[in-house]
């Protein structure tokens, strides 16, 4: 990851072992001269560049969101949307027993009274907003759901959870659901880049919390039947609720992180859409107002490209920039995991003298991370000892702390930074790793993984996404229901409603 005005992933990650993949900040878009006009802000200070001209974004934006279900979308983009729905639902199923998921359900039931909206991956119900909050918390209870690396956003947990519940309650078709989710991903992916991801960081706002609020609202609005003027007011309330601190980087238990990345955005976006539906009014055309949130002074640094929020709508697709995690671990650890799994096929743990993992970026962070899914020595140990990577063990704080065999093996693993693997400035972000195993007989075996499977540059194929879904779902629901989930998602465009899919997601003791 190149430096951006002296700011880099290495600078951001230093000083904490709990920092995760995607914490880096980049501009995400080409810096352009911004065109603003107006009479200044409330303090009499000019917020605009002298003599500049503003080109409104709200008319195109509100119309685009309101008309989501009628957009003509290429077949390959609709297929990617169906696959991201499958990937998110598989994540919800796999994560339903984890702590963040359990707490999300407990909160929803405690707050929701006698609501009738289902909490996915449970038999429980709550009010709509609380149920969606719990479902989203479940989807991001571990490091397994999708992400948009160019925007530093993980859209699936919030957007899919909210769109599913709204489509269910409004009796909308599977095709409507897909159209709404595509628009949700589009707004969630575009917004941070339009503001400038570094500008968001310098303002103390985490993309991961801000973007899902707008993306969720954008997906829910067309399913509720909001008109353009209602969407206009909805976006004003999204701006008021846009939040999320980079403090999530210090989280260890993945609960605050699940709230910031998923539960909060799902709740806030859903609330903004329902408020607009009931007649709440906000600042008209707030994104075009020079004193509004979108054009605020804190967002005036290099990297902003306000016009990109609406340029190329229905022509360029954030879904083509969205990624999926092949393994249940953080992004930068994925290449090392893949290399270790490959090497384990021919190497037994008792043969290993030492393991060296060379990777780009702040390698030391991933050598001592407190989160199991980010700690490469721990992951290397359980892969070599178990001969596989189990979803539960990859997230297990208990095993990381108490498995003495794994701890002893982990001490043989060293993680170092390899600057040669780092990308040059202006090049697409990627991740890689070179793993070398030195055997006790003095020989060595090496595996270099130049990219992460599932990254936008090397997306998972349809069959690979389905294979991942089976791996996550079969241990919880069995092979038959895993196949049914895949089939239901694949046929969503022809579904009159999504009841069968929701019914499949209702299981367990609560």
Q: What is the DSSP letter of 126?
A: E
Instruction: Please state, in angstroms and rounded to a whole number, the distance separating the CA atoms of residues 89 and 302.
Output: 37
For CA atoms 161, 193, 320, 318, the dihedral sign is positive
Q: Using DSSP, how many helices (H) and how many strands (E) does the chain show?
A: 21, 6
Q: What are the tens digits of pLDDT across the range 113-161?
A: 678 999 999 999 999 999 999 999 999 999 899 999 899 999 999 999 9
HEC string for 395-438: CCHHHHHHCHHHHHHHCCEEEEECHHHCCCCCCCCCCCEEEEEE
Structural domain count of the chain: 2
Please say which residue of 252, 286, 321 terminates a domain.
Answer: 321
Residue 101: inside a domain, yes or no? yes
Enclosing domain of residue 106:
55-321
Residue 23: inside a domain, yes or no? no
Q: Are residues 316 and 343 in the same domain?
A: no
Please say which residue of 424, 449, 474 terminates a domain.
Answer: 449
Q: Are residues 194 and 220 in the same domain?
A: yes
The set of residues, in sequence order, having a beta carbon less than 8 Å from that of 31 and lying 6+ positions away, is 196, 302, 303, 304, 305
Residue 428: inside a domain, yes or no? yes
Q: What are the tens digits of pLDDT across the range 162-219?
A: 999 999 999 999 999 999 999 999 999 999 999 999 999 999 999 999 999 999 999 9
Q: Read off the CATH number of the domain in which 214 is found.
A: 1.10.4100.10
Residue 455: inside a domain, yes or no? no
Residue 264: inside a domain, yes or no? yes
Mean pLDDT of all residues in the chain? 89
**Coil, helix or strand for 139?**
helix
Residue 307: inside a domain, yes or no? yes
Instruction: Please state, in angstroms and rounded to a whole number, the distance separating the CA atoms of residues 74 and 60.
Output: 20
Q: Which pTM was predicted?
A: 0.86
**Coil, helix or strand for 420?**
helix
Q: Are residues 361 and 300 in the same domain?
A: no
Asked if residues 363 and 417 have their Cβ atoms less than 8 Å apart, the reply is yes
Asked if residues 270 and 157 have their Cβ atoms less than 8 Å apart, the reply is no
Q: Are residues 62 and 198 in the same domain?
A: yes
Please say which residue of 396, 414, 449 terminates a domain.
Answer: 449
Residue 431: inside a domain, yes or no? yes
Q: Are residues 305 and 399 in the same domain?
A: no
Q: Are residues 279 and 361 in the same domain?
A: no
Pairing type for strands 352-359 and 413-417 reads: parallel
Q: Are residues 354 and 411 in the same domain?
A: yes
Confidence band for 14, pLDDT divided at 50, 70 and 90: very low
Q: Read off the CATH number of the domain in which 417 is found.
A: 3.30.1330.120
Residue 102: inside a domain, yes or no? yes
């Amino acid at each position: 990851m190149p430096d951006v005005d002296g700011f880099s992933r290495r600078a951001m990650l230093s000083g904490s072992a709990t920092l995760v993949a995607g914490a880096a900040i980049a501009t995400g878009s080409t810096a352009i001269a911004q065109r603003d006009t107006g009479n200044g802000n409330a303090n009499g200070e000019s917020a605009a560049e002298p003599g500049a001209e503003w080109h409104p974004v709200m008319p195109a934006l509100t119309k685009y969101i309101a008309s989501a279900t009628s957009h003509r979308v290429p077949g390959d983009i609709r297929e990617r949307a169906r696959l991201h729905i499958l990937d998110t639902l598989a994540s919800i199923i796999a994560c339903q027993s984890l702590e963040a998921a359990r707490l999300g359900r407990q909160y929803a039931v405690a707050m929701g009274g006698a609501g009738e909206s289902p909490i996915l991956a449970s038999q429980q119900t709550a009010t709509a907003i609380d149920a969606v909050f719990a479902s989203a918390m479940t989807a991001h209870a571990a490091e397994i759901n999708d992400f948009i690396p160019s925007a530093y956003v993980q859209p699936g947990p919030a957007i899919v959870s909210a769109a599913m519940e709204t489509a269910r309650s409004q009796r909308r078709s599977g095709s409507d659901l897909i159209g709404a989710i595509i628009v949700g991903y589009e707004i969630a992916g575009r917004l941070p880049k339009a503001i400038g991801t570094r500008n968001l960081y310098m303002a103390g706002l985490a993309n991961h919390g801000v973007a899902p609020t707008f993306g969720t609202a954008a997906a829910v609005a067309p399913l509720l039947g909001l008109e353009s003027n209602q969407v206009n007011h909805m976006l004003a309330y999204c701006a008021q609720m846009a939040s999320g601190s980079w403090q999530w980087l210090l989280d260890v238990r993945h609960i605050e992180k699940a709230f910031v990345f998923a539960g909060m955005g799902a709740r806030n976006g859903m609330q903004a859409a329902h408020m607009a539906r009931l007649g709440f009014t906000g600042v008209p055309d707030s994104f075009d107002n020079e004193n509004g949130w979108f054009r605020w002074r804190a967002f005036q640094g290099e990297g902003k490209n306000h016009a990109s929020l609406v340029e190329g709508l229905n022509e360029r697709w954030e879904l083509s920039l969205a990624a999926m995690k092949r393994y249940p671990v953080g992004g930068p650890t994925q290449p090392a995991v893949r290399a270790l799994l490959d090497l384990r096929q021919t190497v037994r743990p008792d043969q290993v003298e030492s393991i060296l993992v060379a990777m780009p970026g702040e390698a030391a962070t991933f050598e001592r991370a407190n989160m199991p899914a980010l700690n490469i020595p721990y992951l290397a140990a359980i892969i070599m000892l178990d001969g596989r990577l189990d979803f539960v063990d990859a997230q297990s704080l208990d095993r990381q702390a108490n498995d003495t065999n794994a701890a002893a093996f982990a001490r043989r693993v060293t993680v170092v930074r390899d600057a040669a693997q780092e990308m040059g400035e202006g090049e697409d972000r990627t991740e890689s790793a070179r793993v070398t195993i030195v055997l006790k007989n003095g020989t060595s075996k090496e595996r270099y993984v130049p990219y992460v499977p599932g990254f936008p540059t090397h997306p998972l194929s349809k069959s690979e996404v389905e294979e991942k879904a089976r791996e996550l779902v079969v241990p919880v629901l069995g092979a038959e229901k895993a196949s049914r989930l895949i089939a239901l998602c694949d046929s969503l465009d022809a579904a009159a409603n999504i009841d069968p899919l929701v019914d499949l997601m209702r299981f367990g003791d609560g």
